[in-house]
Amino acid sequence: MASLAQQIGGLRCPSLSNTRLSRKTSSSNTQPVKRIFTTKAAVAVSNAQTRERMKLKEMFEEAYERCRTSPYEGVAFTVDDFHSAIEKYDYNSEIGTKVKGTVFNVDANGALVDVTAKSSAFLPIREACIHGIKHVEEAGIVPGLREEFVIIGENEHDDSLILSLRQIQYDLAWERCRQLQAEDVVLTGKVVGANKGGIVAIVEGLRGFVPFSQISSKSSAEDLLEKYLPLKFVEVDEEQSRLVLSNRKAMADSQAQLGIGSVVTGTVQSLKPYGAFIDIGGINGLLHVSQISHDRVSDIATVLQPGDTLKVMILSHDRERGRVSLSTKKLEPTPGDMIRNPKLVFEKAEEMAQTFRQRIAQAEAMARADMLRFQPESGLTLNADGILGPLTEDLPAEGLDFSEEIPAAED
């Protein structure tokens, strides 16, 4: 028991009151520490923000000072570079000035063009081409096209420029007409109108006037509408917008090129009981019913129709009366081909014409040789090809005997 008492006495247990006091004390001591830590953290954050603000303030002050004292320090793009760029993209916006531009959009009304101005320029459809078009794409105006335009106006609403290609094309057309007049060239014009004095034809995109006195045919103005005529320039005056043409001068040149025996391509214009009128490059020639085929043609309409294209041979040309006689009969490989196989006649026309010309030349040579047979002193004779040449050793000096009958060449 004694030992047990000693053991119990040796145990030390804190009193209840002391324990509670100690807990209260520890709790009351912790709160001030937390407050101290919180205050220190807030002060640290505030100091960091203040330092950041001060740093930014110093940077702004330094930048301001540099801008005030040395604004171009460290800048690669100088004032001179700026002025050079302005001059590079500067342009004269006066009416009549030509500018380069790139099309970037098209619609039914025209096209928008970038001419490096403060706003895009507009090309109206009526100014897009010298010819009448319904859409700018018909004139080859598509996005990406770079072209030279002329300024013809300014839009009052947004100060954008109004451009034209038509005016440039007009200038080029007048220059082209002056060149063709100097070269005395025959060109083709389409008849688009008429008045009391003559007809109006389009040449090189310009409207020209052809007086009735300068028209070779006796056709009325109504008959000539929408037809194409060979023309020559009589007067080209751009300042007065005066363009005078002549069909007679052009026809005279064309007719001078129509040699007897030559083959030309023509179009059937009209049929008559006695033959067909053929348009051969603005000249009306008569293909008589007897010259259509070796076989008899009772009804021309069974062989030809208006609008048919065919090749014909020139038989005769009366320049004073303006009459040209034609033939397809001479171009038939075999008699009747014009009726049975007109395509063959078309294909073999040049070949048959060459054969016909050779026969004509041979017949003429025969005639000349016949005249010389009593004149051996001339030293000429006829070779196997029907061509006159000098006498050869194998022929008698007294000439050839032409008493034998020469077979007539078939038509």
SS (H, E, C) the chain: CHHHHHHHHHCCCCCHHHHHHHHHHHHHHHHHHHHHHHHHHHHHHHHHHHHHHHHHHHHHHHHHHHHHHCCCCCCCCCHHHHHHHHHHHCCCCCCCCEEEEEEEEEECCEEEEECCCCCCEEEEHHHCCCCCCCCHHHHCCCCCCEEEEEEEEECCCCCCEEEECHHHHHHHHHHHHHHHHHHCCCEEEEEEEECCCEEEEEECCEEEEEEHHHCCCCCCHHHHCCCEEEEEEEEEECCCCEEEEEHHHHHHHHHHCCCCCCEEEEEEEEEECCEEEEECCCCEEEEEHHHCCCCCCCCHHHCCCCCCEEEEEEEEEECCCCEEEEECHHHCCCCCHHHHCHHHHHHCHHHHHHHHHHHHHHHHHHHHHHHHCCCHHHCEEECCCCCEEECCCCCCCCCCCCCCCCCCCCC
- How confident is the model over 71-112, as pLDDT tens digits? 767 666 676 776 666 566 555 678 888 889 999 999 999 999
Answer whether residue 409 shows pLDDT above 70.
no
Cα 180 to Cα 189, 200, 204, 312: the distances in Å are 13, 19, 10, 30
- How confident is the model over 359-376, as pLDDT tens digits? 777 777 777 766 665 455
**Which residues, 6+ apart, have CB-to-CB distance to 116 below 8 Å?**
89, 91
Answer whether residue 37 shows pLDDT above 60.
no
Q: pTM higher than 0.85, yes or no?
A: no
Answer whether residue 126 shows pLDDT above 60.
yes
Answer whether residue 3 shows pLDDT above 50.
no
Band of the pLDDT at 215, cuts 50, 70, 90? confident
- How confident is the model over 144-193, as pLDDT tens digits? 999 999 999 988 777 789 999 999 999 999 999 999 999 988 888 999 99
- How confident is the model over 297-323, as pLDDT tens digits? 989 999 999 988 888 988 887 766 667
